[in-house]
Structure 1
Amino acid sequence: MKIFIDTERLRDLNSGLGQFCFRLGRELVQQRPASAELTFLVPEKHRGIFGPEVSYQTATWWRNWFNPGAYDVWHCTHQDSRFWPASTRTRTVLTIHDLNFLERSDYNDAKKAGKLAALQRKVDRSSALVTISEYTASVVRDRLTISEKPLTVIYNGNSLDQAIAQSPNLPNPYFLFVGVIHPKKNLHTLLPLLEAFPEWQLVLAGPDAHPYAGHLRQQAQNLGIGDRLILPGAVDEATKTGLYQHCDAFLFPSLSEGFGLPVVEAMSCGKPVFLSRLTSLPEIGGKDAYYFESFEPEAMAETVFDGLNDFRANPFRATRLRQQATRFSWEQAARQYWELYQSLATP
């Protein structure tokens, strides 16, 4: 059995998709059956990243079609990939992470329709579909035609390695967000919390090239809290882990998520998590997360105040949050993918 796996997004290793490709690829190698051969599509600089016992193809901008004849199954690891097998007869697994573009206010109806049609073409030529949450599966069934095509939910795993934590050079206490700084994350709603919690800082850790980051800084200055808003940009794994371990609470008021990996990472550290009730987040956070019922400043402040008091009074809540995080593992994800590959490769 010969499997081809697109991990081209390793080019941005610290992104969500980069970590998905790295963590899943590494675990697939660990669980590889003796009769299976793996070939990874990788950026040139990452040849060898999964060890010497697998094969590699180099991803280049000018070559996005590959001869599939040597492979039994092709895994396209995300819906925006431009790399596909040349033959439409190749048995292909397509992982769909989200359809968040449907919720974007900066996309007009024509652009949304075009992106949906492009994704439908990929679905049409796939042999099997995977989504990373039940929520995303429900959106796929509602907005795309999948006919009798099998659709499997395979959750992402927790990538956090707590052994490598680096203590942040920050005075406590602070609230934490981890993720890309983008309007869909709804981060401006967190700024008034610094008025309600005058002893706290707010750390928004993640890529901050979008103009929204500048908007947040300006809004913080207008509110007189600019010195307590910290945007360190993208951080490495050790720094990120340290931020989780030392924060007082994790805040994630996102408007649209296909999964919500930072939520799992924060829960694995036993931290109280405060989430929106939108899209996949209740599914991932479970019953021991705290949820914003409104994005009005007073309501959000009350949710955080009551949640922190409840968390301090309930010593078992941190344990239950850690247990919720254990539901999501790359070991389990790789096992489910291998089952899927084998079902497709069997004549």
Structure 2
Amino acid sequence: MNRYALDARTATDHFPGIGRYVSNLARALPPVLASDERLILLRDPTRPSRWQLPAPSAQVAWVETAVSPFSLSQQWQIPKLLREVGADLYHSPYYLMPYRTGIPSLLTFYDLIPQRFPQYVSPRARLLTSLLTRLALRAADQVVAISQFTRDDALAAYPLAAEKITAVPLAADPHFQPQSAAEIDRIRTTYHLPPTYALYLGINKPHKNLVNLLLAWNMLIEQLPEAPPLVIAGAWDERYPEAKETAAALNLTSHITFLGPVAEEDLPGLYAGAALFVFPSQYEGFGLPVIEAMACGTAVACARTSSLPEVGGEAAAYFDPTQPEEITAVLYHLLTDNAARERRQALGQKQAQLFSWEKTAVETLALYRQLTAHH
């Protein structure tokens, strides 16, 4: 019997992105396991979490531990725990992992944002992140990259053997799907939204490129005075005030709504109610919002950079994120040509169906089996 230990200690509110990944993978794995395979979930009951893990069952066991991924003691406490529960494989969704577990190990790798955008962290933190990432990549027997782009980026940045890293794409959560008119109305009422709006959803760090989006929106209003307002939704980091400053400097406040964080259960209705979704990010390991918007039946315009063409396929309308004029032209076309917008909506729903958590689980499980067979 093979027992696969998935480290779900990061399925907490402290790790929004990784928490989403590990909880979706944990829920998708049990249905695809063979009868002689078990999933062991390492979880931390002391930390608040909005992420659901599958309940203990014949195929799923919970092992509770309060050992933090940030602690040095995990280097011996987690391997000891893995021995006690008889794990045959260890999967860490985070680079702060025990480096010697005594069993085959797998690491999920998301992006190189700390390396590609050095301004986000202090030189000391950058050095430490780089060192610990190298250690994790060396320690893992196999690395899962969340896109082909991330795989290529990791191979270019680190001394990794190509056969050691495999791309296994993510997917939208299953609740991202077209919504009823009643649900869309509920969201409009709750968030005081107009009948027609364009949407950006994400954080406001500089690589998300909101300043260029606002410069483009300013030009769009000159060309199309009746353009719908742009709703900018997502958690706001006050360390990066540039987008709000740009909106104020351009007198865009009546055309832009800064919505702030939106409850998870309200996101499908927010996407589905938008005339279009725009995502100008300059760097994404996967770009989940693109596939989420498409799954909800919304036309997508996004940057022709990093993993986004891989995720958006033929369905998205692309622009150069460094050229506000090009962003404006793409937005103008989608907002004024209903047939083009409807075509993008239909293509987007087909594109979103190419990705599923079942597929991600099946491909991840294939790596588990490969590693345990060789051990």
Q: Give the AA of the match of 2:41.
A: F
In the TM superposition, structure 1's runs of 4+ consecutive aligned residues that sit over 4 Å from their partners are 45-48, 107-114, 163-166
Matched, 1:78 2:94: yes
1:49 aligned residue (45, 50, 53): 53
Matched, 1:122 2:136: yes
Give the superposition deviation at 1:186: 0.6
What is the alpha-carbon distance in structure 2 between the residues aligned to residue 275 and residue 37 of structure 1?
40
What is the alpha-carbon distance in structure 2 between the residues aligned to residue 241 and residue 14 of structure 1?
21
Partner deviation per Cα, 1:147-194 (whole Å, 9 max, x = no partner): 365321111011151369552331132111112221110111122344
Identify if the C-alpha distance between structure 1 residues 316 and 273 changes in structure 2 by more than 3 Å, giving closer, same or farther: closer
Task: Give the stretch that moved more between structures: 14-23 or 179-188.
Answer: 14-23
Map of 1:135 onto structure 2: 149
Q: Secondary structure at the match of 2:232?
A: strand
Map of 1:180 onto structure 2: 203
Q: How does 1:77-96 map to 2 (within 5 A)?
A: 77-79=93-95, 82-84=96-98, 87-96=100-109
Task: Give the stretch that moved more between structures: 328-337 or 13-22.
Answer: 13-22
What is the alpha-carbon distance in structure 2 between the residues aligned to residue 231 and residue 83 of structure 1?
37
Q: How does 1:1-347 map to 2 (within 5 A)?
A: 1-12=2-13, 15-44=16-45, 45=48, 49-53=53-57, 54-61=61-68, 62=71, 63-65=73-75, 66=78, 67=80, 68-69=82-83, 70-79=86-95, 82-84=96-98, 87-106=100-119, 112=126, 114-147=128-161, 149-161=163-175, 162=177, 167-169=187-189, 170-195=193-218, 196-197=220-221, 198=225, 199-212=227-240, 214-293=241-320, 295-310=322-337, 312-313=339-340, 315-346=342-373, 347=375
Q: Secondary structure at the match of 2:55?
A: coil
What is the alpha-carbon distance in structure 1 between the residues aligned to residue 15 and residue 254 of structure 2?
27
What is the alpha-carbon distance in structure 2 between the residues aligned to residue 230 and residue 142 of structure 1?
39
Structure 1: tracts of 5 or more residues without a match:
none
Task: Give the stretch that moved more between structures: 224-233 or 163-172.
Answer: 163-172
Give the superposition deviation at 1:52: 2.1
Identify if the C-alpha distance between structure 1 residues 14 and 174 changes in structure 2 by more than 3 Å, giving closer, same or farther: farther
Cα RMSD of the aligned pairs, angstroms, is: 2.5
The answer to whether the 8 A contact 2:282-2:305 is kept is yes
Partner deviation per Cα, 1:15-45 (whole Å, 9 max, x = no partner): 2222111111111123232212222122315
The answer to whether the 8 A contact 1:272-1:311 is kept is no
What is the alpha-carbon distance in structure 2 between the residues aligned to residue 36 and residue 183 of structure 1?
44
Partner deviation per Cα, 1:114-138 (whole Å, 9 max, x = no partner): 5333212111111111101111111
Q: Secondary structure at the match of 2:258?
A: strand
Structure 2: tracts of 5 or more residues without a match:
none
Identify if the C-alpha distance between structure 1 residues 260 and 272 changes in structure 2 by more than 3 Å, giving closer, same or farther: same
What is the alpha-carbon distance in structure 1 between the residues aligned to residue 24 and residue 89 of structure 2?
20
Q: Give the AA of the match of 1:7.
A: A
Give the superposition deviation at 1:241: 0.9
